[in-house]
Chain A
């Protein structure tokens, strides 16, 4: 009996009779003359990132590196966060005063759900689309912690913000090759447009996303 694998592969080969046997995949030309790099000055790129993250109804706060801890604490205080989930390798000095930290790993889904929010770093930000990217790298923890709690506070440094999607994809190549580093693109809070195309923020993921941008530039 032929296996389904052989059946499908044989059908494909029969269907492609018109493709010359000598043709290699690279012989089919792919014109990549689209843009690969954003040539805008750094300030402009950062401002566009902030503007577009905001357009997605995410909150954005800008701070200098020496003000980061205070900014995190202020964001937590503003939301009455008392139990904050943090990854095991939370960078030193980020822990906000007056907040109980619930450290990974080992938290159950129930514990995540009954926390007040989560604090993570990110792999990079994309200016063109207002996206933050997590790739399970330092300070990011596993995927569930940025998903189950209702509030996600994410810290992005100026040098992490790239211009275009292709720049991000290049930087993520090694994460994509590794089973240990699943990747998540996050653009604003969870949202749906399923009811009369009205955009509603907050369905199954966090209802609030807040991004703290750390930069020495005077941007707003």
Chain B
């Protein structure tokens, strides 16, 4: 079950700009129905479990502050983690980029003569294209989370951080299972039956495959403890049954102390699956006693662009993310386009700020515009990432990047924006332009709005209507009022007592 047929997600340069990909998604009515239903449901549930917490805002603030503390002293804490993990029998590896990490993991798997690995759902290993890299080395990686299995069997890509197959209906999943899994001829589309089919299919793998690969939800510098949060038990299977466990951890997943988990174990489940607690959370501190876990534990610490994000004082807060996906479910843009339009492992509002920083704004310049700036994502973020602030900051970078090149400076957009900047800089020019606009717009106003601007300005109206310049501006109205109304007012002295 290799994924050689599926190209990995483009990490360096998305295959398609967001606005083009979004237009395709918007035409898919099944997708819009599935996404709308899913996001509305989970949003409602989340609100209910968050509202029962009297100290939610205090927890959010603590969650933000702990991550801020960690990020500002990341080097010290990483070294502390390395020492802690070594003390309890694990081995730490450092990976500067995706290639580095894939080479380390493939090397470890091959050193045990293994040809198969079982995997726990992990965004980080998706990001580095680990499955594809292993396939090139002749190693088959089996995804064990139900949704990830569906995606893998369908040779598709995830469309949601938490529920990757959310865009697929039960009928589609049944057809997929019937086509790809043995003994499923009479399978119904009841979610219970579908889950049972996955259970039967994967059980063999858990009991026989010698190497497991996981991501990391939290790594504790103080104790060297690693934490995995999940629901199905496939995570526990991978963490305890195989002989070798390799966990790949983005450097931002670090927290300083065991006690800090008291904050995140409250914030994460309620924000992500809208549960008070997810069914299974596992913590292990190095090697468990013989017979109670793998004989070897490897922790791969991954940079892969994270230090670039860290270097940006405003953008840095994106590294606070605990991957709960609350921002996806409330986003009016994500709700309508689904995750595929983002062309990134990280879709939705968090993807719109994380991806351009990880791969460079020059490679994902349309993503910071995939937002209505309504601010709902900031409101629900359990660790208070100010996503709108970072979006605006990145939009500025996109523009400045374009202005760096000669052609960019001469582009119609830049020329007209520079012109506009001049117009806005003095009231006299502004008023003159308004008058000119009022005359000019007569050709394009239809039914009270402008739905198509000519030439290069058409890009603006491709996705929105523009309101025309008013027949009388406020300034004109005020000036006229000064002329006509004021003389009728009684002299000021007479109004005094």
Contacts and interface: CB of A to CB of B under 8 A. Distances in A.
Interface of A: 3-5, 7-9, 11-16, 18-19, 23-25, 28-35, 52, 56, 105-106, 109-110, 113, 126, 128-131, 136, 142-144, 147, 165-166, 169-170, 172-173, 176-198, 200, 202-206
A131 B292 contact: no
Contacts of B195: 192, 195, 200, 202-203
A179 B276 contact: no
A11 B266 CA distance: 32
B169 interface: yes
Given A128-B276, A204-B206, A169 B233 contact: no
A147 B310 contact: no
A193 B275 CA distance: 11
A184 B310 contact: no
Given A147-B236, A176-B258, A204-B233, A195 B42 contact: no
Given A179-B284, A186-B280, A195-B191, 17 more contacts: A13-B75, A15-B308, A18-B313, A25-B70, A25-B76, A143-B236, A177-B223, A179-B285, A184-B281, A184-B283, A188-B279, A191-B231, A193-B163, A193-B231, A194-B150, A194-B166, A196-B37
Contact of B289 (A131, A180, A197, A198): A180
Interface of B: 34, 37-38, 41-42, 54-55, 58-59, 61-62, 65-66, 68-70, 72-79, 88-89, 93-96, 100, 144-147, 150, 163-166, 169-170, 173, 191-192, 194-196, 198-199, 202-203, 206-207, 220, 223, 225, 231-234, 236-237, 239-241, 251, 256, 258-259, 261-263, 265-266, 269, 273, 275-289, 291-293, 301, 303, 307-308, 310-311, 313
A14 B311 contact: yes
11 contacts: A12-B251, A18-B313, A34-B263, A109-B241, A169-B265, A187-B278, A192-B147, A194-B163, A194-B166, A196-B169, A196-B191
A142 B75 contact: no
A196 B170 contact: yes
Contacts of B265: 165, 169, 185
Nearest to A198: B191
Nearest to B87: A179
Given A25-B72, A142-B289, A4 B100 contact: yes
Contact of B163 (A109, A169, A178, A197): A197
- Name the residue in B72, B150, B194 with the highest tally of chain A Cβ atoms < 10 Å from its Cβ: B72
* A contact patch SS: loop
Nearest to B42: A197
A197 B35 CA distance: 11
Contacts of A9: 75, 78-79
Contact of B94 (A8, A143, A144): A8
Nearest to B239: A143
- Name the residue in B62, B76, B163, B231 with the highest tally of chain A Cβ atoms < 10 Å from its Cβ: B231
B157 to A, nearest CB: 15
Contact of B146 (A4, A144, A184, A203): A203
Contacts of B279: 56, 186-191, 205
B287 A147 contact: no
A31 B58 contact: yes
Contact of A33 (B58, B165, B240, B283): B58
Given A3-B94, A15-B311, A31-B62, A194 B277 contact: no
Nearest to A194: B147
A12 B95 contact: no
B320 to A, nearest CB: 13
A176 B225 contact: yes
Contact of A130 (B54, B59, B277): B277
A56 B279 CA distance: 8
B283 A183 contact: yes
The 7 A-B pairs of least Cβ separation, nearest first, read A205-B233, A15-B311, A142-B292, A11-B307, A129-B277, A28-B69, A204-B233
A180 B293 CA distance: 10
Nearest to B57: A34
Contact of A23 (B70, B72, B286): B72
A176 B223 contact: yes
B194 A184 contact: no
A11 B303 contact: yes
Nearest to A146: B236
Given A176-B285, A187-B279, A35 B55 contact: yes
- Name the residue in A18, A189, A191 with the highest tally of chain B Cβ atoms < 10 Å from its Cβ: A191
B13 to A, nearest CB: 22
A13 B88 CA distance: 27
A112 to B, nearest CB: 10
